[in-house]
Copies of this chain bind each other. A is one copy, B any other.
Amino acid sequence: MKSTLVTYFPPKVQKQLLENQKNIQGKPYEKYFNPEMEVPVDLIKAIQFGPQAAEKTFPPTPENLNRLYADLDNFPNAYYGAADDGENGLTTFNICRHFFPGVTVKMMQWWFTWHVLEKERYSIWFPYAHLANTVVYPERMTNPDLSYEEKLYGNPNHIVEYIGNHLMDAVIHFTDPTQLGLDKALLEKQNLTFSASGWSHSYDTPEVPNALMLHIGRDVEGGFELYTCYFIGAHTVLSQYSGISGGGERGVAGMKSAGITREFMEDNSYEMAVHDITEFTRLGSILPQLYAEFGPK
């Protein structure tokens, strides 16, 4: 797929790049830190002609998610917009498909357990926008007796990163995708053996789940297919996904009292789409060599 240079980085993230550039000096993986970022032309062009019309969007209910992942041939290249579900909530509407030549499920799983041990590792993923990512139980990540799932699930990631011009300070709870509405049988049928999916909340408000993110993928001929979704905002279904009773409802009430508009959500959704395309394109491009050098021998 033809790629093109990313032409826009807000001044705040440019300053972060210079900071990250200093911090990474001397790290053994320093050469993977590259400020010249690229994105696939097809994906970036798919989000340059306005947000998805309201009638083409949908909220993150289990029914909708299973319908989306049941038809991977028609999984959109890249969508952004806002999903307005009335009294039930309002979220961003982000869907994107990626293909990474030479990458495997194994490499992706390794990445999600390897990068969290040093913030400089996290920074090579998106040199301009990534500040820090730490987990509650780092020792699990290097324990050879634990599976990928045992390392990642129940081990919250505290991430600090710029999404567009906005500094996000959040906690992601990675968990089994079946806890996030997806059918086990469907995932098996589609051979979707990779997942780094979860729900999240702002660092300061653990009682209000405010996002669902799905990073689900599979090995295919020649590489790895990744199917991502982000629904950021407020929705009652987030109570179910997070297991926090009344949490989604608190989000909906808070959003209503703050007067959050559809347009605000579309802006956030666009920034999230640009971020997703930029960071995963970078990860896909460095992962085979990075894994060969630093992965398990």
What is the interface of chain A, defined by CB distance below 8 A to chain B? 4-12, 14-15, 17-18, 35, 39, 41, 44, 48-51, 80, 165, 263, 266-267, 270, 274
Contacts and interface: CB of A to CB of B under 8 A. Distances in A.
Nearest to A82: B11
A18 B50 CA distance: 8
Given A4-B4, A4-B5, A11 B50 contact: yes
Contacts of A8: 6-8, 274
Nearest to A267: B11
Given A5-B44, A9-B48, 13 more contacts: A5-B5, A6-B7, A6-B8, A8-B8, A10-B267, A11-B80, A11-B263, A11-B266, A11-B267, A11-B270, A14-B49, A14-B50, A17-B50
A10 to B, nearest CB: 7
Nearest to A278: B7
Contacts of A14: 48-51
16 contacts: A4-B5, A5-B5, A5-B44, A6-B8, A7-B7, A7-B274, A8-B274, A11-B51, A11-B263, A12-B263, A14-B50, A14-B51, A15-B50, A17-B50, A35-B48, A35-B49
A22 to B, nearest CB: 12
A53 to B, nearest CB: 11
A63 to B, nearest CB: 28
A18 B49 contact: yes
A281 to B, nearest CB: 11
Contacts of A48: 9, 14, 35
Given A4-B7, A7-B6, A39-B7, A17 B267 contact: no
A21 to B, nearest CB: 9
Contacts of A11: 50-51, 80, 263, 266-267, 270
A220 B231 CA distance: 53
B267 A41 contact: no
Contacts of A49: 14, 17-18, 35
A4 B38 CA distance: 11
Nearest 8 interchain pairs by C-beta = A8-B8, A14-B50, A4-B5, A7-B7, A11-B266, A7-B44, A11-B270, A6-B7
A263 B5 CA distance: 26
A232 to B, nearest CB: 15
Contacts of A4: 4-5, 7
A198 to B, nearest CB: 26
A14 to B, nearest CB: 5
A4 to B, nearest CB: 5
A8 B51 CA distance: 14
Contacts of A9: 48
A2 to B, nearest CB: 10
A16 to B, nearest CB: 9
